[in-house]
A and B are shown apart, each in its own frame.
Chain A
């Protein structure tokens, strides 16, 4: 029965998003940004990997921005208008409300980010030269499978960003605080991790040999490292990953799980 209630919360989120023109506008802006950068860099005519190289930096910045736009009011609004208190009178645990809301917003995020990035992949397929093969059977070959990896990693990065936004949203508990915290979180997620790592390196707190590992534990660093490891360097036989892949994967999973659990716990204890 709890599953049915969580499903209802999820369905309400998706319905609300389908009726919102702002998400359509957000999708259009995202598409404009990735297509604009890719076309300007002429990556699509070169193939999938050149396209990923063109758009990686933009996508790395866009994904947290979209996550914050989609999620910063997801819990702060219901808290501010008393809906969470009302929901507490229903036989739906706080984690169920958080989970249903997160799943609904995750669908929105996947659509807003995934559709433009997937469309760009389709555009590459239609415009790239014959050297772009359908399947990569060995390193050094461009392939749509590499682009699919990029898409999958981007969506995972988006889901991690969204869970972090949810944590900030439940901590804020009011719309104005949610906005401030979301913007701060956006900065920390986008550049804060890298800045902290390089500051620690500069101060001698971190050894040069630990740089890859340290970058891998920040969400943006882990995402970037995995894209290099699983997409870009696959097409370049002489290069190897600059962050340990297993550590980057574990870091993203930990960020995702810890922030979602933290959000559910805070929502329960409120």
Chain B
């Protein structure tokens, strides 16, 4: 496993009286795909937002150890939407222009160059997600954070999105994502962080966790949790 590009030290995040994340210490290796998995409400999005710096921890620290860059993080929110009235090419050009990047390169990286002239409002959910990933790659950030990149997508599009994720990591970046699509996570991720009820349950590679649970994670995942009734979506 390569050196960490991001780490948290005893991070806690509370919203009013609700603790979304409690004393979590994790590392995110570079040039690898790190997946945050856990039931709904386990704190995955909160941890992603803390790693990104969108949210500040109530307690603890988040440290970036990666190289200096024009843009440290690329970010795909859970439901990316874009300004209506613009084409795919114009949208990509806007984000690329903010960091002196090439819009065509971004669209080619996610396979959207063939629909560059299409209005963003005419894109399918999967294509919108891919455009969001293209946006996240603008400026060649060392860390790319993807919040539920395949949620709500059909199996073929989910496969395509995770193939793109694998390509991003293979190009030398750290990818951090949250997902319920465990079969795809098992196939793509190098490092898993398991969260439940805002607490860190365990970390490890898919192979290590499979060995611990005794089977494919999408079938045996609840055994990693405290409560066996945990809801995990995405089995297919």
Contact = CB atoms under 8 A, between A and B. Distances in A.
Closest 10 CB pairs of A and B: A82-B77, A81-B81, A19-B85, A89-B73, A89-B75, A90-B98, A85-B54, A5-B98, A8-B97, A86-B75
Contacts of B98: 5, 8, 90-92
Contacts, number: 53
27 contacts: A8-B94, A12-B83, A12-B86, A12-B94, A81-B77, A81-B79, A82-B77, A82-B79, A82-B80, A82-B81, A83-B81, A85-B49, A85-B52, A85-B54, A85-B75, A86-B75, A89-B52, A89-B72, A89-B73, A89-B74, A89-B75, A90-B71, A90-B99, A90-B139, A91-B70, A91-B99, A92-B98
B198 interface: no
Contacts of A91: 70-71, 98-99
Interface string A69-86: 000000000000111011
A171 to B, nearest CB: 18
Contacts of A5: 98
Contacts of B70: 91
Interface in B87-113: 94-95, 97-99
Nearest to B56: A269
Tier of interface size on chain B = 20 to 34
A184 to B, nearest CB: 25
Contacts of A81: 77, 79-81
A210 interface: no
Interface string A1-21: 000010010001001100110
Given A82-B77, A86-B77, 19 more contacts: A5-B98, A8-B94, A8-B97, A12-B86, A15-B86, A16-B85, A19-B85, A82-B78, A82-B81, A83-B81, A86-B135, A88-B52, A88-B54, A90-B71, A90-B98, A90-B138, A90-B139, A91-B70, A91-B71
B53 interface: yes
Interface of A: 5, 8, 12, 15-16, 19-20, 81-83, 85-86, 88-92
B141 interface: yes
A113 B12 CA distance: 50
Contacts of A90: 71, 95, 98-99, 138-139
A8 B97 CA distance: 8
A83 B79 CA distance: 10
B99 A88 contact: no
A6 B105 CA distance: 23
Contacts of B97: 8
A16 B86 contact: yes
Contacts of B79: 81-82
B53 A88 contact: yes
A89 B71 contact: yes
A158 B49 CA distance: 37
Nearest to A82: B77
A15 to B, nearest CB: 8
Nearest to A20: B85
Contacts of B95: 90
Contacts of A8: 94, 97-98
Interface in B192-236: none
Nearest to A88: B54
B77 A16 contact: no
A15 B70 CA distance: 27
A15 B90 CA distance: 11
Contacts of B99: 90-91
Interface in B31-76: 49, 52-54, 70-75
A88 B141 CA distance: 13
A16 B83 contact: yes
Nearest to B138: A90
Chain B CB within 10 Å — which of A12, A90, A91, A92 has the most? A90
